[in-house]
Amino acid sequence: MGVCLDLSQFPLRPTTALIDLDAIEQNVRIVARSLTPGTKLIAVVKGNGYGHGATMVAETATRAGASHLAVATVGEGRHLREEGVESPIIVLGPTHRREHELAVGLGLELGVGDVASIESIAHAATMLDRVAKVHLKIDTGMHRFGADPSDAVELARAIDRTPSLSLAGIFTHFADADAADERSATNQADIFDRVIAEIKADGIDIPLVDEANSAATLRSRRYDYGAIRLGISMYGIPASSSVPLLPGMKAAMTIESTIARLFDLKKGERVSYGGTYEALRDERAALIPIGYADGYRRALSNRGWVSAGDALLPVRGRVCMDQTVVGVPDDADLSVGSRVVVMSNGEGESPSAIELADMLDTIPYEIVTGISARVPRVYFRGSDVVAIEDLAGLSRFR
């Protein structure tokens, strides 16, 4: 049931997210091996590395062979640069003109989908006397961010003839690559093929062409182009039940805490705000120092459970901002300080991110990205703690 790390020497709060860097490294290597030879791997570390901590994930993915990193915002890219990450970083999402000088100064590569942002980035690059790399985003059917396919050649030309810009790549994004039915994805890929062919026919060189997210990558080599963008499955979580992980891939995050108080509830006593749980008989309860400000969602009130060894401890009453009360089975041999697993990596008795998502009518992406910065990330390889990141910042130990 997971590793047993010795955290006694670290001044950490009892609630921690344990991040298995070996799992992340292995997941990247397994996916990289499955790609068409020569295909580059862009590690997507937006949303604080899907809640796993962007810096350590970025380093680990790079070591495992990722050539580029991708984030959603300039702020996320800046954070990685400030932590010393030197890989190419692509900002996938739309940016604001007021961010462009900062972004270009940091050497971030920006996704663009319209003339106004191309001009603004060109202006920032000219001011800084630099050449900014941009990636033209094509909207092939997601209908979110990107240029209409009919405008693609014109925009590629505009970038190509601007001295302060360099067209580093062209990309698009799938709306439905994780669905049981692959047709929506193949339709988008057909549109993307035509756009790429038109731009190439215009004599414009495109260093990087990428389309696939995790689902498309795990599904078929049809979507490899020159690179793929690997997000959720790098963390060992499948994009959906229609697209299983490859053999050997494994979830990297486990959330643990310890019992802070063990107490008795008498029949008729009620628990937590609003008293929504009432003891039907004399019973035992335990306090776990985790709450919705940590990302342990309030909708788990009277629904979720944690585990301690083989014992299942159901949530009693409302999840609070910082604390949650759970029931303790009569026969469980627990004491203050006993370790509890709040979210498992799929092994053991506690719900995994997938099971929590099912319970909460959402997707595991939202569960892991929702684990807040207040929860220390403890990074380990084998049974060694190699780094810790908490509100005070990142500390490496080897």
Ligand X SMILES: *Cc1c(COP(=O)(O)O)cnc(C)c1O
- Which helix (H) or strand (E) segment is 116 a member of? helix 115-128
CA distance 75 to 95: 10
Residue 70 near residue 229 (C-beta atoms within 8 A):
yes
Catalytic (active site) residue 46: yes
The minimum distance between CB 101 and ligand X, in angstroms, equals 24
What are the tokens at 37? Answer: 């030879």
| Residues 352, 298: Cα–Cα separation, whole Å | 17
The Cα 162–Cα 238 span in angstroms is 41
In the bound state with ligand X, the residue whose beta carbon lies nearer, of 27 and 214, is 214
Residue 43 CB neighbour total at 10 angstroms: 26
Shortest distance, position 328 Cβ to ligand X, whole Å = 37
Backbone angles phi, psi at 81, to 5 degrees: -60, -40
**C-beta neighbour count of 125 within 10 angstroms:** 24
CB of 249 to ligand X, least distance (A): 13
Q: How far apart are CA 245 and CA 27, in angstroms?
A: 9
- Closest approach of Cβ 212 to ligand X, in Å? 8
Is the Cβ–Cβ distance between 243 and 34 less than 8 Å?
A: no
Joined tokens for residue 143: 């209908």
Question: In this complex, which beta carbon is closest to ligand X, that of residue 178 or of residue 256?
Answer: 178
Using Cβ positions, the residue closest to ligand X within the complex turns out to be 231
Rounded to the nearest 5°, which phi and psi values hold at 222?
Answer: -55, -30
Which residues on adjacent β-strands are paired with residue 40? 227
Least separation in angstroms between CB 256 and ligand X: 25
Instruction: Closer to ligand X by CB, 324 or 369: give it.
Output: 369
**Active-site entry in 46, 133, 137, 250:** 46
The binding site for ligand X (CB under 6 A) comprises 44, 46, 92, 173, 213-215, 229-232, 239
| CA–CA separation, 3 and 21 (whole Å) | 13
Please say which residue, 232 or 388, places its beta carbon nearer to ligand X.
232
17 Rama sector, left if φ>0, alpha if ψ -120 to 50, beta otherwise: beta
- Closest to ligand X by CB, 104 vs 232, is 232
- Distance between CA atoms of residues 125 and 360, nearest Å: 45
CB count, 10 Å around CB of 37?
Answer: 6
Query: Least Å distance between CB 278 and ligand X?
Result: 42
Rank residues 240 and 302 by Cβ distance to ligand X and give the closer one.
240
Catalytic-residue membership of 273: yes
Do residues 249 and 231 touch, judged by C-beta distance below 8 A?
no
Q: Nearer to ligand X by C-beta: 229 or 316?
A: 229
Q: How far is the CB of 175 from ligand X (least distance, A)?
A: 11
Question: Among all residues, which ones are annotated catalytic?
Answer: 46, 273
